[in-house]
Amino acid sequence: MLQVRKDLMVEIGVTGDAGAGKSSFINAIRGLDDDADGAAPVDVIECTKEPTSFNHPKNPKIKFWDLPGIGTPMYPDLETYRDKVQLGKYHTFLIFSSSRFTENDIILAKEIKKQGKSFFFIRTKIDENVRAEKRKKSFSEAAMLQKFRRNCMENLVDEAGKPICSEDHIFLISNHHPGKWDFGRLTRAILDALPRLCDDDYGAAPVDIVDCAKAPTCYNYPADPNIKFWELPGIENPYFTDLETYRYKVQLDKYDTFDLTLMMTSAQVVETSVTTTDNSPSQDYTHPDDQTIPSHVTLGFKPFTAL
Ligand SMILES: Nc1nc2c(ncn2[C@@H]2O[C@H](COP(=O)(O)OP(=O)(O)OP(=O)(O)O)[C@@H](O)[C@H]2O)c(=O)[nH]1
Ligand SMILES: [Mg+2]
């Protein structure tokens, strides 16, 4: 089982086109009416102006960030949007879309992939589509849903035409009918894709979430007591803006050799001399006690395969 450190908070950016139903989804998953106290504001006109956070109803380690929509006068293009909503600070994303597949949908998906992060793609307002399409005699709900899925897959591709999203990461929902279509599968997928917290195996390397290693963390190498792995944070995470900050904070020159992981998430460092705790590499970051790697966990982060 994959484990994470207990102090890890997972920040999910809820993003997408203006009016796609981002805030409505947050209310629906939290079981709140749109006009309830503490609900995310929902409106027929541009509504969410600043990123606002909301707790997950079941898992206190998960935070949803209700982001403004892209493509409005306030956030007309990707550059403005990325800077103003600080797209780089979220661990993973839910991209919301309604009606037609738009240029912004693909721009956002590509940007998130470029950052080495993952997303679920959510097509909302399925209830409206069903209602409108039912007027046709030939209407088949299953065929319509299949058409939506195919349309998403055809559009969520990179420059070479390769898919950037797997089909099971596409969800067709209505925020007004959480009991129907893919809403339940989506809520389960959000919980399932996130690292589980389990005291039994505490000590395993954190996995699945980009930049989850914020502090250098030491692991024993089971085959040789003179070797220690220091798992370092990825340089491209928001806590280390440039090389100088990174070099200083992780004390890059104290390690004997390096194993560069070609993901943006982290690098492992092999230190062949024994390190004592008063030689910890950074004062700003806590060093958990040495942790033994259970045999079923390999060092290194996966490239964001889950959510
Ligand atoms: N029929 C239907 N209407 C929806 C659904 N989701 C949202 N809406 C409606 O769409 C409108 C916009 O919803 P919001 O949740 O405010 O959309 P948003 O993406 O947060 O909008 P911005 O914050 O302005 O970008 C509201 O009138 C909602 O009631 C849905 O699944 N079905
Ligand atoms: Mg909103």
Which residue's C-alpha comes closest to atom 8 of ligand 1?
21
Ligand 1 atom closest to Cα of 49?
23
**The predicted structure's pLDDT at residue 227:** 78
The fraction of the chain above a pLDDT of 90, given in percent, is 54
Whether 249 is covered by a domain: the verdict is yes
CA Rg, the chain, in Å? 22
189 assigned to some structural domain: yes
Question: Tens digit of pLDDT for each residue in 210-238?
Answer: 334 556 777 766 667 777 777 777 766 65
Q: Residues 236, 192: one domain?
A: no
Give a yes or no: residue 295 inside a domain: no
Give the domain range for residue 243.
221-276
Q: Which residues surround ligand 2, an ion (CB under 5 A)?
A: 22-23, 47-48
- Tell me how many domains the chain contains: 2
Which protein residue has the closest C-alpha to ligand 1 atom 13? Answer: 21
For residue 27, the ligand closest to its alpha carbon is 1
Task: Based on the fold, state whether residues 106 and 172 are members of the same structural domain.
Answer: yes
- Structure tokens, 53: 């956070």
Q: Which two tokens stand for residue 183?
A: 């809403």
| Residue 43 beta carbon below 6 angstroms from any ligand 1 atom | yes
Does 24 contact ligand 1 (Cβ within 6 A)?
yes
Virtual torsion, Cα 292, 295, 299, 303, nearest 10 deg: -140
Q: Decide if 75 is inside a domain.
A: yes
**Entry pTM:** 0.69
Any idea what the CATH number is for the domain that residue 14 is in? 3.40.50.300
The answer to whether residues 85 and 52 belong to one domain is yes
Two tokens, residue 108 = 């956002």
CA distance 248 to 296: 33
Identify which ligand lies nearest to the alpha carbon of 96: 1
pLDDT of residue 50: 93
Whose CA is closest to atom 3 on ligand 1? 125
Cα-to-centroid distance, 22 and ligand 1 (Å) = 7
Q: Verify that 237 and 140 share a domain, yes or no.
A: no
Q: What is the dihedral of CA 178, 179, 183, 185, to 10 degrees?
A: 150
